[in-house]
Amino acid sequence: MKKHVTDDTTPVSSLIFSLVLQSNPAVVQVSVTPSGLLSATVQGNAQGINVIVIAAQDAQGNPSQTTLQVIVGGATGILPGSWQRLR
């Protein structure tokens, strides 16, 4: 997530990230490391939407939040190695 945030006084490498909320972890379990790595694990054959709130905190303790939707649909038949080319 570091490529998508800026701060006037704190270098991006010093920002602390956290997961504030997720609405539907029964569909997809999301985690965020303090360094900003986001991962998502689909729960079985679940489908649906998990609305997540992620925070970034600067060196002065000032937080900023954003909301994302993680949407899980049915199987697509696309091989895992092909996902990176889909943009």
Q: Residue 22 is part of a domain; what is its CATH number?
A: 2.60.40.1080
In total, how many domains does the chain have?
1
Residue 84 counted as domain residue: no
Residue 56 counted as domain residue: yes
73 three-class SS: coil
Burial of 19 (0-12, 13-18, 19+ CB in 10 A): middle
Q: Which of 35, 44, 40, 46 is nearest to 69 (CA)?
A: 40
pLDDT value, residue 26: 94
pLDDT at 1 over 70: yes
pLDDT in tens, 21-74: 999 999 999 999 999 999 999 988 888 999 999 999 999 999 999 999 998 886
pLDDT value, residue 2: 79
The pTM assigned to this predicted structure is 0.78
Which two tokens mark 43?
């729960």
Residue 85 counted as domain residue: no
pLDDT value, residue 76: 65
pLDDT in tens, 45-59: 888 999 999 999 999
Residue 87 counted as domain residue: no
